[in-house]
Structure 1
Amino acid sequence: MLVLSSGVLFYIDLRPRDTVRAVPLLRTQDRFTAFAVRGPDLWVARGDGALCKVGQDTYLRCLSSHSGSIGEQWVSLTIGNQDRVFARSLHGFAVGIPSDGSMTSRQLPFVSDRYDATPFLLAVIEGSDGTLLTQWDHGLLEWRYGAWHPLHQPTPILADDLVSSILRASDGSIWIGFCSSGEAQLVGRNFIENWSEADGLSNNTVWSIARQLNGPLWIGTDNAIDTFDLDQTTHFRMQRRGYAISIRSDDMGNIWYVRNIKAVARFLPDGSAGPDVSLPGALYLAAEHDGLLWIGTGHGVYTLDTARPDAVPSRLGGFETGVSVEGEDRKGGLVWIFQGSELVGMTRSGIALRLPKLPDIDINRIMQIVVENRSSLWIVTAVAIIHVEHVGAHVTRISRIGVQEAGIKHFVALCIDSRHWLWIGATNGVAVFDGKNWTLLRTDDGLISNDIGQQAIFEDTDKTIWIGTSGGLSHITDPRKVFDRVPAAPYIQGIFLGGRRVRSDMGRYSTQGIDIDLGTRDLLAPSVYRFRYKLEGVDSAWRLTTADRVHYPYLPPGSHLFRVSVCNGSTKRVSPEIGAILTMPYPVWIRWPALVFYALSIIVTAYVAHHLWSRRHRRREKQLAVLIDRQTHVLREQARELEYQATHDVLTGLLNRRAMQRVLEDMRASATAGQLVFIALFDTDFFKHINDVYGHLAGDEVLAELGSRWRANVEAGSHIGRYGGEEFLFATVKPHASGFDSVARLRIAVTEPPFDQARPLRRVTFSAGATWVGPDETWADAMKRADAALYEAKESGRDRLVCVSPVLAASPVAPVCQENGR
C-alpha cells in the first residue's frame, strides 16, 4: 500500500502480523503533492508542478510543460486511457502525454474558491467515451469537444453540496459522492448534450434550428442568430443580433429566417449576410426547391423569388384572411397552406391540390404543418395533432393524438425523423413515439429545460435530434437510447417502526406501523420514476408508488422479504431489483415455550375429558349392552314364536299345510341320485264318529295326542304335518326299497297304543295312501296320486295302507302295496 504524508511517498508493508513497516519509496529530496497508480504505472506530482513517472529503478521521468506553470500545486492525479495523465489543482487542469513527454496546463473556467478549504476532495475522472469530469463550485465540469462545459443537471443537489468523490464503475457508469447527501449514479449523459449561455450561446431561449447545406448548424434565439460548429475553437458564434425565428435552408446553401417579425433575412453560402426584405408581421417560412420562398404573415401569404436579387414579396391572392402556419413538401414540390378551412397544396403555378374540409380543426389554433411524404400530413394544434392521409385530393384517413395519450400538456412542435418517429414538443417536455411505445423526455432525463420552443425540434444530417428550449439547447446524440434507459437500482434509506429507526430485525414484537424509506442512486431521478415493491407474505401483488416512503400499518410476525425496483413510467424499463428481509419477532404468547405450554395444557385437558367421557361412555355402553341383550332375547323369542305359529298347527304341534308344501319343495330339490321323495297322506278313521259320540273336545284331545305320537315316532330327516282336518301328510327321502316300509312302520307305531281320550274305543286307526314324486312331476301331481291311494284305502275297508307308484300307474290307482294293519 502507498501513502503520501508530508510530501513523502511511503510504501506500507502489511504482511507482518505483529508490526507494520513504512518505508520511503523514493529516495529523493523532492516533495510530492499527489500520486496515481494504474497497473504497473506509478505517477507522482512534484511540489514544483512537474508530473513524473516512476521507473523500475525509482528514477523520475518528468514531462515538459508547454504552457508554463499555473502557480498551484497539483492535488489530484489520474492515469487515463490512450497514454494520458490528468492533474487537477484548485483552479487549474493539466494533460500529460507520456509518449512525447509533453504536458499542457490551463486555468479551469467557472471555478472560484469553494474548494479552497478541501482541495483533497478534487478529482479528475475519464469516462468510457473519453470525456473528463471534475468538480467546480456548483457541480461538475465536463470536458468535451476540446473545452470544459458545466454539466447541466436539473437537480439542485450539485449546486448545494460539495462533490467529495467521482468514480467510474466497471460498467462505465459514473458514481458521485457528496459530503452530506450520500452518493448517486449519473445517468443520461451518454446520449444527451446540453448547451447554454455558459457555453457561448447568445441566449438560452431557442426558437428555431436548421443545418446549412454543407455548413454549420444555425440557431435562432431571443436576441440573435448563432452558428454552432464543433470544428471551430469557439463552438458558438453570434452572426447577427435580433429576434430570429423560422430558420430555413434552401438547396442553394442559403439560410433564410424571420428577423424581429419585421423582415425576412438571409445569409449566403459563404456566411455573409444578404439584404433584409421588409415584411412586417412575417412569422413563418417555407423554402421550395425551385427558389421560391413562401412567407406566412398574420395578414396573408407572400412569395419571394430568391433567384432575383431585387425581388420583393408578392402577395398571394385568395388568401386575404391570412394564415398562421404552413408546411413544405420538397419531394412533391408542394407548399401546404390553409385557405379558410381547406388545406391546399401550392406550387409556383398556383393551387395544385385541394383537400376537402377537415372536421374539428380550428384554424386559429394551428401551430405547425409537417409533411411526412406525398400522402401524409401532420397538423399541430395546442391540444391535438391530426394525421391526414390522402391519395391526391382524396382523404383516406384522419387520426388524432391527444395530449393525454402523449402524456404532455400543450403541443408546440413536431418533428418526424428519418426513422418515422414522432418528436412532439410541449411545455412539459418532449414526447417520443416510435410507432409502438411512448416515452417522455424531461429535465429529469437530462433535457436542459422542459419548455420547448415552437417549431424548435430538428433532425440533423447525422440523424441526431436538436431541441430548442427556453433554457438552452439539448442535443440527443443517440436517439435509440431514448427507449433504452434503465433506471439505477434503488436502495433502502431507513426502516422505521412507530417513528423509531430500527434495523431489518425489529428486536421485539410490536403492533405499530412500519415505514420504509426508499431512494434511487440515479442523480437525475426523473419524476416518471416509480418504486415497484412487494412485501412477501403481506402483499398479494406488486405495488407502485411515486413516494419515497412505503407504509405498512402492521407487520406480521416472522421473516418477510421486501423486494423493490425502480420503474420508469415513460419507457417502462425496470431497474435491477434489491431486497431486504424484515423480521418481526413473535410475541411472548406465541413463542415456542408458550406454544409448548398451550399444547401440554390442551393435551392434559383433552386426556382428562376423554378419560371422563370414556368412563361414562363405557358405563352407558354396558347398560346399553344389557338392555340390548335383553331386548334381543325377547325379540328372538317372539320371532321364534311367530315363526312357530306361522309354520305349525296350534292343536297338534305339527307343521301346517303351507310349511309342509315348502318341505316337499326343499326335499325334491335336495334329493340326490338313488333317493326318492316319498309322501303319505293319513286320514283318521271314523273321526266324525268320535266327535259325534264323545264330543269335539274329545276329538281335539285325540288330535293333540296324535300330534304328540307323530312327533315322537318320525325319524330324523322325515317330516309330518297336519294337512287339514283329521288328515296328516308325511314326507321323507329314502331309497326306493325302504320308502314304503317307513310309512308302514310309522302308521303302526302311531295307531297301536290305546287312546285314553277315546274310551271305550281305546284305539284310533288310519287309512293311508303313499307314493313317491316322479322325476318329471311336481309334488302337486304326487299329492293327487297319494290322495287317490288314500281313497282306495278307505274304500277297501279302512285301517290300511295303499301304495301307488307313478311309473306303474296304468289306471287312476294301481297299488303296489296294500297292507291291513289289524
Structure 2
Amino acid sequence: MIVANDDGLFYLAPEADDFEAWPYPMKDRVTALSEASDGCLLIGTFARGIGRLCHDSEDWLSIENGLPNSHVLDIFTEQNGTIWIGTHGGLVQIREALFRSFTPNHGLRGAYVRSVNTDSAGHIWVGTNDGISRQLSSESGAIAFEAVNGDPQLAALSVLSLAHGDTDVVYIGSYTEGLFQLTNGKVTARLNRKLGLASNEIRVVLPMSQTDLILVGTAKGLYLVRSSLGSLDVVRHYTVADGMAADFVSSVTIDGNGALWVSSTQSLSYFRPLSDGTWQPEPIELATFTGASNIFSGTFHNNRIWFATDHGMLSRSLNGNDWQWLSRRDGLPFDKTFTINFDADDNLWLGGARGILRIAKSDLEKWMIDNRVTINYQLFTEVDGMVSRQLTTGGPASIIDKHGRLWFASALGAVMVDPRVVAEYNSHAPAPIIESITTDNGELGTDKRIEAGNTRTEFRYVALGYHMPEALLYQVKLVGYDLHWINRGNQLETAYTALPPGDYEFMVRSRYPGGDWSEATRFTLHKSAFFYQQPWFWFTFSLTVIAFVSIALHLRIRTLQYTKRRLQRLVQKKTQELEAMALRDSLTGLANRRSFDQQLDHELHNSRRYGTPLSVALIDIDYFKQINDTYLHTGGDEVLKHVAKLLQSLVREVDGVARWGGEEFAIIFPQTRISDALQVLERIRVAIEKLRIAKFEQARITVSIGVTELSKEESSAELLKHADRALYLAKEQGRNCIVTD
C-alpha cells in the first residue's frame, strides 16, 4: 500500500506494521497519485512537478524541462496510454515517444555526449565532455547509467572516442589527455605525447578484429598501436608524408577487402592493403564527384562503403568507382550529417545537426537505381522523444547495440530508438476537415461560386487528432490547377492567386511522418469569367496582335540589328574599364582591398599545396591625421602617393602591394619566411623615415608595421587578424617600429 499526503509518499509492505518513506523522504506535498501501464508510479507534487518512480529509476518533469507550472493538480491516463496532467499553469499531454533520452538525471557524467559504444558484454558506454558513464546491469531491463570515476585520471575527462577490445578492456580517446586503456574501469595503460604520440587529440579508436592491434586516429595522423594488458605501443604512424590527403583524422572505416577509408576535414584517403600486412595511403579527389568535403563517419554495408558528410551521404561499391551522392538536391531536408547506420532491415539512418533521418530500404534502392527521383525520408526531432535534435560527432557518435537498438550522441544527452517499432509508431492520421474558404469578399457562399474579379482564394484545414498533432504533415491538390499533390508540411492554410475561370476540386490529406496518407477531403467550386476571358474574345484579339506585331517587326528589325552592334561595342569597352577600376586604387595606382584579398587567397592556396612559407605585413602611416590637419587632405593624398611609389620600388615583382584602406597598406610575401620579410620591411621603414617631399619639407613621415607568417591551419581571415594584432602592438610600442605575431 502506498499513501500520499502533505509530507510525501509512504509505503506499507505486506505483513509490515509501519509505513516507511518511499523511495526517500520527499518533504513535499503529494497532490496526485496514479499507476502507469508499466507498473511505475506517477506522482504529482506541490513544488517539484510530476515524477515517475520505478523499481530502479526515477524521472521528474518540472518547469525546468517543459512543465508550465510545477504545482500538479491531477493526473489522467487515456486508454491509448496518453497521460494528461492538470497544473496551475494549464493542461499538459505526455505520450509514449519513439526515442528515449538519457541525461545526467539517468546517471550520465555530463550532458554533451560525443561518443557511444558497447563493451564485450553489450553494455552501453557514453563519453561526454565531462567524463565517462556505463550502463548499469538491471534484471528488469530498465536502462540507467553510472559514472566511471574510480581512477583519478578519468576525472572530468573530455571524451572524443570509445571502443571495446577483448573481455573487459575498453579504450578511451580524449580531447587533451591522449589514449587510455581501461580494464574493469581502471586505467591500465596510457598513450600520449610524452609516450610516443604527436597529438593528444584522439578522434578515433578502432580495434582490429582477431588481432592485438588498434587503429588510433589523431589530429596529427593515423597510428597503428599494439595493445596488451597494461601496455600500448606504437607500431606505425601514417601522415601526409606517407600519402595521406591530410593529417587530421575524423573517422576510420574498414571495408570487406581489409582496406581503410580514412576521412578528415576537406579530404578522404584510401589505404590500400599490402601483402606485408601494412597499407599504402592514396588521396581521393572528392571534388571530381561531389560537393562534400568534411566526412564525419563511415560504415561498410552490403559490399558498399557509406559516408556521412557535410553535404549529405556518399556511397561507393567495392567493385567499381561508382560514387553516388545523396544530398539536399535529391530531397533531403538538410545537408550536414554526422552519423550513418543501417538497421537489421537495411533501412538507412542519418544523424545531423537538425535531427535524425530514416530512409526506408525500398526508397534507398529506388534512388540508387535512378538518382533523378526525389528521396523519401522520415525526420525525427524533439517531438519524437529526443532530448535534443542537435547530434554531435565522435568516434563513434552512433552505434547499434546487441538488441538491435540505435544509439546517438546529442548535445544534451544520449538518445536511443528501437527501429522495429517505427512502423507501429506511425499511427493512422485522421482525415482533415476544411475549416473555411475565404475570397476577396469574405467567406465563400453556399453557391460555391467565386466572382470573376477575385484575386485570392485561401483554404484553411486541420486534422483533428491528439496523437502528435504537431507532427502531422499535409498535402493539397487543386484539381484543374495543380498537376500533382503539393507538400504543405505543417502549414494549415493554402492560398491561390489569380485563378483562371473554370471548375475546380480542392483536396487535402494528412499523415504522420513515414505513415500512410489519410483519405482525401474534397470540396468543389467554380470561378466565373469576364467577357474578355471568353474564347471568342481571345481569338479576335490574337489575330489583331499578330498583324500588328508583324508590321512593327518588319519596320524595326534593321534598326535593332544596328543598335545591337553598337551596344555590344559599348559594353565591351565599359567592361574593360570597370574591370581595371574594380581592382585598382584610384589615388595610388596600387591594388585595392578586393584585389589584395583575391591575391591572398591564391597565395594561401599555393602555400598549402606546395608546402611553401607565406608572410603578410600591414603598414600604417604614423600620425597621418596630423599630416592631414597640417597640409590638408591634398597634402595627405600626396604623402600617400609617395609612400605607395616607395613601397612598390622596394619589393619584388612577385610580392603584392595594396592600399589596405585610408593610410594603411598591405604587402604579401609569397614563398618568404618571416625572417626574410623582416629584412625587406626594415628597409622600407628606414626609407620612409628618410622620405622628404618637396612641398612638405617639414613633414617627418614614419610607419608602424605588423607582420606574421602563415601556420598550417590558418585561414586568410585569421592570418590578417594576426598581422593586424601585430600592427596594433607596434603602435602601442611607440610607432616607427616592426612587430611580429
Q: Of 262, 265, 278, which aligns to 1:337?
A: 262
Residue type at the aligned position of 2:270: L
Identity %: 14
Structure of higher CA gyration radius: 1
- Structure 2 distance, partners of 1:457, 1:282, is 17
2:221 alignment counterpart: 300
Residue type at the aligned position of 1:329: I
- Structure 1 distance, partners of 2:519, 2:434, is 17
Tell me the alpha carbon deviations over residues 773-805 of structure 1, each in whole angstroms, 9 at most, x when there is no partner. Answer: xxxxxxxxxxxxxxxxxxxxxxxxxxxxxxxxx
Within the alignment, does 1:370 sit opposite 2:299 as a pair? yes
- Contact residue 534 and residue 562 of structure 1 kept, 8 A: yes
Cα 1:169/1:478, change in 2 over 3 Å: farther
2:427 alignment counterpart: 486
- Structure 2 distance, partners of 1:222, 1:412, is 18
1:193 alignment counterpart: 100
| 1:410 shift after superposition | 1.1
- Contact residue 465 and residue 479 of structure 1 kept, 8 A: no
Residue type at the aligned position of 2:357: A
| 1:547 shift after superposition | 3.2
2:191 alignment counterpart: 277
- Contact residue 209 and residue 247 of structure 1 kept, 8 A: yes
| 1:204 shift after superposition | 1.3
Tell me the alpha carbon deviations over residues 34-91 of structure 1, each in whole angstroms, 9 at most, x when there is no partner. Answer: xxxxxxxxxxxxxxxxxxxxxxxxxxxxx5xxxxxxxxxxxxxxxxxxxxxx654456
Pairwise mapping of residues 725-744 of structure 1 onto structure 2 (< 5 A)?
Answer: none
Within the alignment, does 1:432 sit opposite 2:347 as a pair? no
1:380 alignment counterpart: 308
Report the 3-state secondary structure (helix = DSSP H, G, I; strand = E; otherwise coil) of the residue aligned with 2:116: strand
- Contact residue 190 and residue 231 of structure 2 kept, 8 A: no
Within the alignment, does 1:449 sit opposite 2:358 as a pair? no
- Structure 2 distance, partners of 1:207, 1:244, is 7
Cα 1:549/1:235, change in 2 over 3 Å: same
- Structure 2 distance, partners of 1:531, 1:328, is 40
Report the 3-state secondary structure (helix = DSSP H, G, I; strand = E; otherwise coil) of the residue aligned with 1:198: helix
- Contact residue 257 and residue 264 of structure 1 kept, 8 A: yes
2:110 alignment counterpart: 203
Cα 1:397/1:109, change in 2 over 3 Å: farther
- Contact residue 371 and residue 377 of structure 1 kept, 8 A: yes
- Contact residue 418 and residue 463 of structure 1 kept, 8 A: yes
| 1:187 shift after superposition | 3.8
- Structure 1 distance, partners of 2:328, 2:25, is 42
Report the 3-state secondary structure (helix = DSSP H, G, I; strand = E; otherwise coil) of the residue aligned with 2:398: strand
Q: Of 389, 393, 400, which aligns to 2:325?
A: 400
Residue type at the aligned position of 1:226: S
Residue type at the aligned position of 1:249: H
Equivalent pairs counted in the alignment come to 475
Residue type at the aligned position of 1:443: E
Within the alignment, does 1:257 sit opposite 2:172 as a pair? yes
Report the 3-state secondary structure (helix = DSSP H, G, I; strand = E; otherwise coil) of the residue aligned with 2:108: coil
| 1:210 shift after superposition | 0.9
What is the TM-score normalised by the length of structure 2? 0.53
1:759 alignment counterpart: none
- Contact residue 218 and residue 228 of structure 1 kept, 8 A: yes
Residue type at the aligned position of 1:466: W
Tell me the alpha carbon deviations over residues 317-367 of structure 1, each in whole angstroms, 9 at most, x when there is no partner. Answer: 564341423424387555433698641145894445878945436896222
| 1:575 shift after superposition | 6.2
Q: Of 400, 408, 414, which aligns to 1:459?
A: 400
2:144 alignment counterpart: 235
Residue type at the aligned position of 1:440: L
1:5 alignment counterpart: none
| 1:264 shift after superposition | 0.3
CA RMSD of aligned residues (A): 5.2
- Structure 2 distance, partners of 1:415, 1:376, is 13
2:491 alignment counterpart: 547
| 1:258 shift after superposition | 1.0
- Structure 2 distance, partners of 1:103, 1:488, is 48
Q: Of 149, 153, 165, which aligns to 2:59?
A: 149
Within the alignment, does 1:244 sit opposite 2:159 as a pair? yes
Within the alignment, does 1:567 sit opposite 2:511 as a pair? yes
- Structure 1 distance, partners of 2:167, 2:509, is 54
Tell me the alpha carbon deviations over residues 377-434 of structure 1, each in whole angstroms, 9 at most, x when there is no partner. Answer: 113321132111013xxx2522111145432341112223343332211000011123
Q: Of 246, 249, 256, which aligns to 1:324?
A: 249
- Structure 2 distance, partners of 1:107, 1:188, is 24
Q: Of 340, 343, 347, which aligns to 1:421?
A: 347
Cα 1:539/1:474, change in 2 over 3 Å: same
2:473 alignment counterpart: 530
- Contact residue 186 and residue 524 of structure 1 kept, 8 A: no
What is the TM-score normalised by the length of structure 1? 0.48
Q: Of 397, 401, 409, which aligns to 1:468?
A: 409
Report the 3-state secondary structure (helix = DSSP H, G, I; strand = E; otherwise coil) of the residue aligned with 1:436: helix
| 1:480 shift after superposition | 3.4
- Structure 2 distance, partners of 1:145, 1:492, is 45
- Structure 2 distance, partners of 1:134, 1:575, is 37
- Contact residue 292 and residue 311 of structure 2 kept, 8 A: no
1:27 alignment counterpart: none
Report the 3-state secondary structure (helix = DSSP H, G, I; strand = E; otherwise coil) of the residue aligned with 2:392: strand
Report the 3-state secondary structure (helix = DSSP H, G, I; strand = E; otherwise coil) of the residue aligned with 1:276: strand
Report the 3-state secondary structure (helix = DSSP H, G, I; strand = E; otherwise coil) of the residue aligned with 2:316: strand
- Structure 2 distance, partners of 1:363, 1:533, is 34
Report the 3-state secondary structure (helix = DSSP H, G, I; strand = E; otherwise coil) of the residue aligned with 2:68: helix
Q: Of 405, 418, 427, which aligns to 1:477?
A: 418
| 1:442 shift after superposition | 0.7
- Contact residue 186 and residue 522 of structure 1 kept, 8 A: no
| 1:227 shift after superposition | 0.9
Q: Which has the higher helix share?
A: 2
